[in-house]
Amino acid sequence: MVRLRVNGKGRSFAGPPFKRLIDVLREDFGLTGTKEGCGEGECGACTVLLDGRPTNSCLIPVAQAAGRRVETVESLGKPERLSPLQQSFLTEGGAQCGICTPGMLMTAWSWIRAGGSADEGAIRNLLAGNLCRCTGYQHIVNAVVQAVKARRRRGRSR
Amino acid sequence: MRGDPRSMELLRPQSAAAAVRMKADHPRAVPLAGGTDFMVAWNAGHLNHRTVLDLSGLDDWKRIRELSGSLWIGALATHATIGEHPAAKRRLPLLVQACAVIGGVAIQNRGTLGGNLANASPAGDTFPPLAVYDAIVHVVSRDGRRTLPVREFFAGVKKTRLGSGELVEAVEVPFLERRPTRRLFRKVGTRAAQALSKTVAAGLLWRGRDRRVRELRFALGSMAPTVRRLAQVEAFVIGKRMTPEMVEEACALLDRDVAPIDDFRSTAEYRLHVSRNLLRSFLEEGQ
């Protein structure tokens, strides 16, 4: 039995411990926001936060997440009440087909929450492991820059 | 075919002692650290029906400790934690630079230095810095411990000199006694992130007050089956002044210690050409 915390809730998984974290999230926990792109750790679509840090959930056997905190895109907002970062992607046109978006959001959220800067170069470096097949990078970077700035204006809530 | 989790046997030691015992009892078990290489091949269905020794429970091997003259980097320290460590940033900047160009952020958060070494890719980006810092690999088995200089750790492409019951416990990187006159880390790949290296270089140079070279250390990755220090070049430049003629002669010696190949990432000719340019600009800088 593998026990872990997913989006703040204690969860357990009784299947094979080598099952990939992405498959457990999607198939066993019903959290289908996390997408699989390449399955090789190249594209970043499957990015979730493991103990607060972005990781490729396609490269992690669920046993390696035992006792740890996992955060997925479902932890950010809901369709009727988006998080400020999600709203920024919408406002700036930072999503096209949407496959890369959950991974982009989670990588960006770890940065914003840790107090990362609004420097465009630093944000491009941060997102270098998240590929967008629609190549909408400029809008994605703009969305993150704007979200950082908005958070600074607001103070620190979300 | 995809990876089949039901075909895998998983061993999960919670201490180093348990890990070496399990490795001795299951010599064919594959040690698993951050999984950034193993899981790629497993996902493609190439590694089903294996016994895996998952090392992620060994918290002690994740630690980085500053010793009096060196940095002790536990085998399971990630590239991200090495890059963030204050002593590494201060004393081992070439290693920190290498850790920042491996994969992207998500890979740096999972990939470990021990896993990187044990995996023994010819393109390992941390290896040229480790080679010029004369790093020492600490190895442990049920029978005891031993150390290997990093340059002797690799036996070939994807091959190490680890025995079947041995695990990498830590990498110890000595601090430089004298501040180098200049240093270099440079990775040349198709793309800034994610792409593997076509060539990767690390260099340290000391010059005396008389402007003559006191010592050069220069290492290249992706240019031979394993990382190589340029022994011929290093010996040639000692005691010499940095004239244009001397630099050309030194660059001409570069291929004595490397043997690049043509592969899907680059050509031998391109790799040699770029590596010579890196060496030349490093030596020429501020003649």
Chain B residues within 8 A of A55 when measuring between CB atoms: 106, 109-110
- Please report the domains of chain A, with CATH numbers, ordered by start residue: 2-75 (3.10.20.30), 84-154 (1.10.150.120)
Q: Cβ A53–B80 below 8 Å, yes or no?
A: yes
* Residue B180 CB neighbour total at 10 angstroms: 18
CA B249 to chain centre: 28
- Classify residue B194 by its DSSP letter: S
Cβ–Cβ below 8 Å for B32 and A61: yes
For position B197, what pLDDT does the model report?
84
DSSP category for residue B38? H
Q: Give the pLDDT score at B287.
A: 57
Please tell me if residue A22 touches chain B, with a CB cutoff of 8 Å: no
Distance from CA of B194 to the nearest CA of A (A): 6
Mutate to test the interface with B, among A13, A48, A59, A107 (most CBs of B within 10 A): A59
CA B241 remoteness from chain centre: 31
Which whole number is the average pLDDT over B157-168? 96
**Mean pLDDT (whole number) for B29-53:** 97
Cα–Cα distances in Å, from B232 out to A92, B219, B254?
A: 56, 12, 7
Residues 122 through 141 of chain A touching chain B, CB cutoff 8 Å: 125-126, 128-130
- Could you give the percent of chain B with pLDDT greater than 90? 90
CB contact under 8 A, B106 and A41: yes
Q: What is the pLDDT of residue A145?
A: 98
In chain B, residues with a C-beta closer than 8 Å to the C-beta of A126 are 105
Chain B window 71-90: which residues touch A at a Cβ cutoff of 8 Å?
80
- Is any Cβ of chain A less than 8 angstroms from the Cβ of B109? yes
Residues 179-218 of B with CB under 8 A from A: 192-194
Within an 8 Å CB–CB cutoff, is residue A82 touching chain B? no
Q: Most confidently modeled of A143-157, B161-175, B248-262?
A: B161-175
With an 8 Å Cβ cutoff, are B39 and A55 in contact? Answer: no
Query: In DSSP terms, which residues pair with B168 in a beta bridge?
Result: B139
Residues of chain A with Cβ-Cβ distance to B103 below 8 Å are 41, 129
Q: What is the ipTM of this complex?
A: 0.95
End-to-end Cα distance, chain A: 34
Per-residue pLDDT reduced to its tens digit, A101-143: 999 999 999 999 999 999 999 999 999 999 999 999 999 999 9
Q: How far is CA B47 from CA B7, B27, B76, B112, in A?
A: 9, 16, 22, 20
Residues A41 and A59 sit within 8 Å (Cβ to Cβ): yes
Contact A107 B40 (CB under 8 A): no
Structural domains in chain B plus CATH codes: 5-54 (3.30.43), 59-174 (3.30.465.10), 182-284 (3.30.390.50)
Q: Kindly report the nearest CA distance between residue B12 and chain A, in angstroms.
A: 9
The pLDDT score that the predictor gives to residue A86 is: 98
Mutating which of A18, A27, A57, A110 best tests the B interface, going by the most B Cβ atoms within 10 A? A18
pLDDT tens per residue across span B16-31? 999 999 999 999 999 9
Q: Which two tokens stand for residue A142?
A: 């703009």
pLDDT of residue B66: 98
Task: Give the per-residue pLDDT at B36.
Answer: 96
Contacts of B40 in chain A (CB under 8 A): 40-41, 59
Looking at every residue in chain B, the average pLDDT score rounds to 95
Dist. CA A55–CA A46, nearest whole Å: 8
DSSP letters along B55-91, please? -TT-GGGG-EEE-SSEEEEETT-BHHHHHH-HHHHHH
Residue B39 has pLDDT above 90, yes or no: yes
Using H for helix, E for strand and C for coil, what is the string for B239-285? CCCCCHHHHHHHHHCHHHCCCCCCCCCCCHHHHHHHHHHHHHHHHHC
Query: Residue A81, exposed/middle/buried by CB under 10 A (0-12, 13-18, 19+)?
Result: exposed
Q: What is the pLDDT of residues B77-109, one digit of tens each?
A: 999 999 999 999 999 999 999 999 999 999 999
Kindly state the helix (H) or strand (E) to which residue B186 belongs, with its residue range.
Answer: strand B182-189
Predicted confidence (pLDDT) at residue B285 exceeds the cutoff of 70: yes
What local confidence, expressed as pLDDT, does residue B286 receive?
Answer: 58
State the pLDDT at residue B263: 85
Of B35, B52, B104, the CB nearest to A44: B104
Question: Which parts of chain A sit beneath pLDDT 50?
Answer: 158
Instruction: Report the pLDDT value the prediction gives residue B194, as an integer from 0 to 100.
Output: 73
